[in-house]
């Protein structure tokens, strides 16, 4: 039976991305690999609109977050950790285990982190040297207004480290222009490549902090080692990388840039808004109330009577894989990932299946109002992002 992967990563791959993985493995000290690495660097820089280096760390998004935390925090550093969900808490936990003094600032799950929240956190902890933020909180389906947050902060501010694991490639993300200092992301979500790579980006300020700082208490995650490899005329990596995944990432980035990132961001937002309108027309409640802060890549919906797991199982029986609520949200919500090229047919597929799955679970819903959803879909075809 065909199965549809609507989980918030990993994601289904384009045929071209899968096929390049069948090519012979290149040695990572070969010229061929250096050319590939340079091309991937340049494509990521294009997407981020920045000429700064983008270290590729073997591993996953958590690995990239750990690379930032272990290089920029530690004993003696004070870290403000603003969290609105499970992944904000993970970043906090990583910093804590690195030995930093962590000052938590919690936002109720489902609500976005707003500039005033971050300003307040910085006001309470003026002595902090690092600020941890999450761009897109995948556990609740909220996309935080990172650009506005950064703009609101004063010039004298902590180093801003951002978890962009589920935002890169899905929403506009211009760290240099916005004043972010470092990003952690991954290959297997918005970039539509297979799992296997953590991706970092570092501002000149972050690199200066690194160069003046202590020796990192890590060999594998030592960002200085990754940076010095990237500075060479023939760029290199310090340790054996997942060459095949890097090749796939190259093909995936080529696809994104050929399509045009602006077009892609618009399509993701349009999909999310149409899907949300459809769910609401059935009488369901979206977990994130404020429309403008809903994620273009993942939608979290509440299911009456905490029956989300029953509905998810019924959806899986139909052939649609989705993700459950995490932590305290288990049973209350489930999540649909739409990081790739989902479009109108998938909206109909998800809504029709959801209606049937709820009926199977004994929850009766109104039928989705397709005419109204189609109107939303047509209306949302407007370029997205102030910074574009």
- The site for ligand PMP (CB under 6 A) is made up of 8-9, 60-62, 87, 134, 136, 138, 163, 165-166, 186
Minimum distance, C-beta of residue 188 to ligand PMP, in the bound complex (Å): 6
Where in the chain does DSSP place strands (E)?
Answer: 4-5, 56-59, 78-83, 101-106, 130-134, 136-137, 142-143, 159-163, 182-186, 196-202, 285-286, 298-302, 320-321, 323-324, 333-337
Minimum distance, C-beta of residue 234 to ligand PMP, in the bound complex (Å): 29
> How far from the centroid of its chain's Cα atoms is residue 5's Cα?
17
Minimum distance, C-beta of residue 64 to ligand PMP, in the bound complex (Å): 8
Judged by beta carbon, residue 193 or residue 237, the one nearer ligand PMP is 193
**β-pair partners for 197:** 58
Minimum distance, C-beta of residue 155 to ligand PMP, in the bound complex (Å): 28
Minimum distance, C-beta of residue 232 to ligand PMP, in the bound complex (Å): 28
C-beta nearest to ligand PMP: residue: 61
Region at 319 (left for phi over 0; alpha for psi -120 to 50; beta for the rest): left
Judged by beta carbon, residue 42 or residue 62, the one nearer ligand PMP is 62
Judged by beta carbon, residue 122 or residue 298, the one nearer ligand PMP is 298
Minimum distance, C-beta of residue 126 to ligand PMP, in the bound complex (Å): 27
Judged by beta carbon, residue 9 or residue 109, the one nearer ligand PMP is 9
Judged by beta carbon, residue 11 or residue 267, the one nearer ligand PMP is 11
Diameter of the chain measured on Cα atoms: 63
C-alpha dist (Å) from residue 338 to 10, 144, 191, 213, 296 = 11, 17, 12, 40, 8
Judged by beta carbon, residue 65 or residue 122, the one nearer ligand PMP is 65
Cβ atoms 388, 173 nearer than 8 A: no
Listed in sequence order, the residues at least 6 apart from 168 whose beta carbon sits closer than 8 Å to its beta carbon are 47, 48, 183, 185, 186, 189, 190, 191, 199
Alpha carbons 334 and 280: distance in angstroms, whole number: 15
């Amino acid at each position: 039976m065909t199965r549809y992967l609507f989980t918030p990563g990993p994601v289904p791959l384009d045929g071209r991305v899968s096929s390049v993985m069948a090519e012979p493995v290149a040695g990572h000290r070969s010229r061929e690999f250096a050319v590939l690495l340079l091309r991937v660097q340049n494509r990521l820089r294009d997407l981020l609109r920045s000429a700064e280096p983008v270290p590729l760390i073997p591993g996953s998004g958590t690995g990239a977050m750990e690379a930032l935390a272990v290089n920029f925090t530690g004993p003696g550093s004070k870290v403000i950790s603003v969290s609105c969900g499970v992944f904000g808490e993970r970043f906090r936990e990583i910093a804590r285990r690195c030995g930093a003094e962590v000052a938590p600032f919690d936002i109720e799950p489902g609500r976005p982190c707003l500039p005033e929240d971050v300003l307040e956190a910085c006001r309470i902890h003026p002595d902090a040297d690092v600020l941890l933020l999450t761009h897109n909180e995948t556990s609740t389906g909220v996309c935080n207004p990172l650009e506005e947050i950064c703009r609101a902060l004063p010039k004298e501010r902590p180093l801003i480290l951002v978890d962009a694991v589920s935002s890169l490639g899905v929403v506009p993300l211009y760290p240099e222009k916005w004043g972010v200092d470092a990003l952690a992301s991954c290959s297997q979500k918005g970039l539509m490549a297979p799992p296997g790579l953590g991706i970092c980006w570092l501002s000149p300020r972050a690199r200066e902090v690194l160069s003046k700082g202590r020796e990192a208490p890590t060999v594998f995650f030592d960002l200085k080692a990754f940076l010095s490899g990237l500075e060479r005329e023939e760029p290199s990596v310090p340790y054996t990388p997942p060459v095949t995944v890097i090749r796939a990432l190259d093909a995936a980035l080529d696809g994104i840039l050929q399509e045009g990132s602006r077009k892609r961001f618009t399509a993701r937002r349009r999909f999310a808004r149409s899907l949300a309108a459809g769910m609401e027309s059935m009488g369901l409640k979206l977990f994130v109330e404020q429309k403008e802060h809903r994620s273009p890549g993942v939608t979290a919906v509440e299911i009456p009577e905490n029956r989300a797991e029953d509905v998810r199982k019924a959806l899986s029986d139909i052939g649609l894989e989705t993700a459950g609520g995490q932590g305290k949200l288990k049973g209350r919500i489930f999540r649909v990932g739409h990081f790739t090229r989902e479009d109108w047919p998938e909206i109909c597929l998800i809504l029709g299946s959801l209606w049937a799955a709820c009926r199977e679970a004994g929850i009766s819903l109104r039928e989705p109002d397709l005419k109204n959803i189609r109107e939303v879909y047509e209306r949302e075809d407007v370029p997205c992002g102030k910074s574009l």
